[in-house]
């Protein structure tokens, strides 16, 4: 871990975490959670988080690709840091709002976007995705920029104000310091997923996509939502506890898949 002097970290974490982060970037690409766009972050301390520099996740490969950010401001700790993502404020504001969130993913998945722009909610209907509950909230960037006529309407989260609004859509923090809703959709944009570990946020991202596919297939063959048997609130709660407790099981498989793939390089 990076050393925290009470306000800022002074160095990168150990190689084990960086190696895991690089694998995480590759796994997200392998499972079509991200393409050239999208990103993942990991919290290093109360006040610092880490992301890759501005590059496609599939190409992240080394410690030199890492940038450390201040949770409070969303700005890089080093003035000469490599160029970062303009939407880093998604991550900084989630970490600020939820003290026990340890990792965040932002995706533009085409499997999920239809649920962000239609009247059909994304709901848990697949047991490994019970964490989605009986309805995933949808955040609309227009709720922020409509208050500022001069602001860009490009749907991107480029400021702490936009990031804070998005984080609020995840609901209040629970007793464990985690958001009520671990996933929120972003209208016409994608989704944000949160978790208490790097492995878990990747699992939630993958199974959010799987649930979207299952739900769309079920709706197609049944003629709409009315013919789909969704999970009850209790079923969603209990399946989330059971399935996510075993999230560590697929991690070695996911790592093996990307390690043997010629595109992905992990030089840590």
Which among 72, 87, 93, 111 is annotated as catalytic?
A: 87
Closest CA to 75 of 13, 159, 132: 159
Closest CA to 78 of 13, 28, 156, 11: 11
In the structure encoding, which two tokens stand for residue 160, read together? 């702490």
Question: Collapsing DSSP states into helix, strand and coil, what is residue 247?
Answer: coil
Q: What's phi and psi for 208, nearest 5 deg?
A: -65, -45
User: Is residue 87 flagged as an active site residue?
Assistant: yes
Q: Where on the phi/psi map is residue 263: left (φ > 0), alpha (ψ -120 to 50), or beta?
A: alpha
Inter-residue contact 10 to 43 (CB < 8 Å): no
Give the ranges where the chain is alpha helix by DSSP (H): 15-30, 88-97, 113-117, 142-145, 160-168, 198-222, 233-245, 251-259
Active-site residue list: 87
């Amino acid at each position: 871990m990076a050393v925290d002097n009470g306000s800022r970290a002074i160095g990168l974490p150990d190689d084990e975490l960086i190696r895991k982060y690089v694998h995480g970037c590759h796994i997200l690409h392998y499972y079509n959670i991200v393409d050239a766009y999208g990103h993942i972050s990991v919290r290093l301390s109360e006040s610092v988080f880490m992301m890759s520099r501005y590059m496609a996740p599939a190409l992240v490969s080394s410690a030199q690709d890492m940038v450390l950010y201040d949770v409070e401001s969303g700005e890089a700790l080093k003035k000469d840091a490599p160029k970062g993502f303009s939407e880093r404020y998604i991550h900084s504001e989630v970490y600020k709002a939820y003290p026990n969130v340890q990792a965040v993913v932002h995706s533009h998945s085409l499997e999920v976007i239809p649920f962000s722009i239609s009247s059909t909610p994304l709901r848990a209907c697949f047991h490994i995705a019970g964490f989605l509950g009986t309805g995933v909230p949808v955040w609309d960037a227009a709720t922020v920029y409509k208050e500022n006529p001069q602001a860009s309407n490009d749907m991107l989260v480029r400021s702490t104000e936009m990031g804070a609004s998005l984080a609020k859509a995840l609901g209040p923090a629970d007793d464990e310091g985690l958001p009520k809703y671990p996933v929120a959709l972003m209208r016409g944009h994608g989704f944000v997923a949160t978790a208490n570990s790097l492995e878990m946020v990747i699992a939630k991202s993958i199974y959010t996509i799987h649930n979207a596919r299952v739900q769309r297939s079920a709706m197609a063959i049944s003629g709409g939502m009315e013919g789909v048997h969704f999970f009850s609130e209790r079923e969603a709660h209990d399946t989330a506890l059971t399935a996510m407790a075993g999230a560590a099981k697929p991690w070695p498989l996911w790592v093996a898949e990307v390690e043997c793939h010629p595109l992905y390089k992990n030089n840590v």
